[in-house]
Amino acid sequence: EYSLFGKNWGGGRQRYAWPHHNTNLRCSSSSRGRSSMPHRRHFEREWCVFRGGISMQHSNHQNRRLLAGAASSVASSEQPTSDIFTLKDFYSDEEIVKKSRFITHVAPIQNQEEFDDFLEEIRDDTASHNCWAWKVGNEYRFSDDGEPSGTAGKPIFQAIEYSGLDNVAVVVTRFFGGIKLGAGGLVRAYGGSASSCLRKAPRVKMVAMSLVEVSCSASFIGIIYRILQGRLDLKTDYCEDGSVKVSARVPEGDAEIISKKVESATQARATVGITASFPSAEEPE
């Protein structure tokens, strides 16, 4: 399983067998013509490993470490995707750092519009700074709000990433206490305040959702309501031709089941459309 090769020992190839091994070896030494068996430590410095198409020329210790790392990478790539969590509700916390008050407000959001409304509600114009960050999926923004560049908004955003939460907004309001903290102190204060608040805030699991839209005649509206009863964002639109469109958000795994129920209950006289929707928070069991 392992082939060990060196350079040249005594000007030619020789075959050696370590205990419990039968391997073809080429050995190297600064003294030509030496016929005695080379020291094992020499091979541990020189050997190359060919295993599964991987070639490495390192020390014995380095080879074991790299092979273990490769195995770990393969194992981790086979791990199932972990659940995504968001905040259950609005939460706030306060810390004092060298007489400056850092008041942190966090809340779940679905888009930038919701963040703008949240910031408008939380912003305190009497404070020295209202620094913030938010993240929804792959979208994010952050602001230092007058603090030195990179000392407030970015540490808050990094706190969100470190928490593992998504669809989250964080606003840290600072009331200056008269003592300057310096760049490093600001980074620790803003990042630490955000991390502490996110860690304490209750969280819930996020569920992938689909938007189900049913178009049918008004005579079927009672049937559709019974099927979609209790679903999120249930609403009805009446069309000019007398038909209706009923829509609701449902867990992604339920969308096809609901579609089949509607088709069966209406004898395929209703049209069902399914599109992806933004995720929703689910209460932990």
Can you give the pLDDT at residue 135? 94
- Confirm if 248 and 231 have CB atoms less than 8 A apart: yes
CA distance 166 to 249: 19
Q: What confidence score (pLDDT) does residue 62 get?
A: 55
pTM comes to 0.56
- Farthest-apart Cα atoms in the chain, separation: 102
At residue 69 the predicted structure's pLDDT band, cuts being 50, 70 and 90, is low
State the pLDDT confidence band at 98, using cuts at 50, 70 and 90. Answer: very high
Task: State pLDDT tens for residues 136-183.
Answer: 988 999 999 999 999 999 999 999 999 989 999 999 999 999 999 999
Determine which of 52-66, 152-166, 256-270 has the lowest per-residue pLDDT on average: 52-66
The predicted structure's pLDDT at residue 209: 84
**In terms of pLDDT, which residue wins out, 93 or 69?**
93
Mean pLDDT over 231-256 rounds to: 88
Specify the pairing of strand 139-143 against strand 129-136: antiparallel
